[in-house]
Amino acid sequence: MIPDCIGNMSYSLSHIDLEKNNFHGEIPENFSKGCTLQSLRINNNQVEGSLPRSLSNCKDLMLLDVGNNDLYDTFPNWLGNLDRLQVLNLSSNRFYGKVDSSDVTIFFTGLRVIDLSGNNFSGYIPTNIIESLHAIREGHEKKDESLYMIFPSLDGVVWYAQGLSFTTKGLEREFQYLLTSWKAIDFSSNQFCGEIPKTLGELHSLIVLNLSHNCFTGPIPSSLGNLSELESLDLSSNELYGRIPIELINLGFLEVLNLSHNDLKGFIHDSYVGNSGLCWFPLSRSCDNEVNPARFDGDDDDGLNWKFSILLGYGCGLVLGLSMGYIVFRTEKPWWFIRIYARVQQKFAKW
């Protein structure tokens, strides 16, 4: 078990890292009022019980990682008073209930990464939480000029946010060092419901957004097209319906888009598996009474792309036909060509 002295020593410690061990039992509840902790990592153990409320005494806490344990608790909205908190990982535990911030005035204003995946959270995502994420809303660090996320300790030694694992672009990835430009929200594999908040589109420096495997309903908000830095968007395995917003083509850095297993309809832009209402190529189902995809939402570029594809197809067919004709008459043995042509005619006649 984690000894109680850990909590008693929190007034003189900057970093506690107990990850990837076999600790069990509960996290000590005795973090002192003069707590100087900047990072606490107890991920990948067998820790049980609830998250100790005394952690609210650690006003300098920047990183809290308790993922992959067996914690059973409600959402720790009381952590919202820790305005220096930048990374919060509660993934793969047994947290439950609604994410509510009604009794917290300041709510995660410095948060850059929040991972709630693999729990039993339910209800709506409160818009006031999203509106309070100022570090993601207002941060505009250039990716090529971004700095490593660091936590200076009391003795002057600089600690880096390193060895952190997050699911991004469909794969779990361990970051040797975490950059300050890395902004991620992962609410996947819970029981969140209702519509996806439109205010998510105001988180302009967000890089990863994963809301998959929940119970979200309604259309995909077109405001997500404002997430100009987004590289990975996963909305799969929900109950979303309607069309895929054309505004998503504005996401110039997007590398992974997964919209599979919803109830989306209309022309497709990307992932489509499991959506029975979708139509047009590469699906076999035709789009009856739909507008020409070459004129989809009045996008001239898309129309030009379709016309170019058609012309390219005709051109390739012409070249192939001339080549076959040349070979036939060059060899002066067209009998095999005539037989193939006759069989093709019979097939079409039967069809």
Which pLDDT tens digit goes with each residue over 28-82?
A: 998 988 888 888 999 999 999 999 999 999 998 989 999 999 999 999 989 988 8
294 falls in which pLDDT band (50, 70, 90)?
very low
User: Minimum mean pLDDT among 174-178, 238-242, 251-255: which range?
Assistant: 174-178
Q: Rounded CA gap, 81 and 284, in Å?
A: 54
149 with 174: CB under 8 angstroms? no
Element holding 168 (H helix, E strand):
strand 164-168
Average pLDDT over residues 322-342: 57
Q: Which among 260, 88, 100 is positioned nearest to 184, based on CA atoms?
A: 88
Q: Rounded CA gap, 47 and 174, in Å?
A: 22
pLDDT at 6: 83
Name the CATH code of domain 74-289 (choices 3.80.10.10, 3.40.1280.10, 3.40.50.720, 1.20.1630.10). Answer: 3.80.10.10
In order of 70, 84, 85, 179, the CA distances from 37 in angstroms are 23, 11, 11, 21
Question: What does pLDDT average to over the chain?
Answer: 78
pLDDT at 137: 87
User: Minimum mean pLDDT among 123-137, 284-298, 316-330: which range?
Assistant: 284-298
| Cβ neighbours for 104, distance < 8 A, ≥ 6 positions apart | 77, 78, 80, 81
In order of 20, 167, 169, the CA distances from 115 in angstroms are 18, 9, 14
H, E, C per residue of 255-320? CEEECCCCEEEEECCCCCCCCCEEECCCCCCCCCCCCCHHHHHHCHHHHHHHHHHHHHHHHHHHHH
Q: Above 60 in pLDDT, residue 157?
A: no
* Domain extents in the chain: 74-289, 304-350
First to last CA, the chain: 74
Q: Rounded CA gap, 333 and 340, in Å?
A: 13
pLDDT at 188: 95
Angle at 248 between CA 143 and CA 100, to 5 degrees: 80
User: What is the length of the chain?
Assistant: 351
pLDDT at 83: 87
The overall pTM is greater than 0.85: no
Q: Bridge-partner residues for 179, per DSSP?
A: 148
Which pLDDT tens digit goes with each residue over 128-150?
A: 889 889 989 876 555 544 565 55
Kindly report the number of other CB atoms within 10 A of residue 315's CB atom: 10
Instruction: Output the DSSP codes for 40-52.
Output: EE--SSEEES---
Q: Above 60 in pLDDT, residue 313?
A: no
Residue 280 burial class via C-beta count within 10 angstroms: exposed 0-12, middle 13-18, buried 19 and up: middle
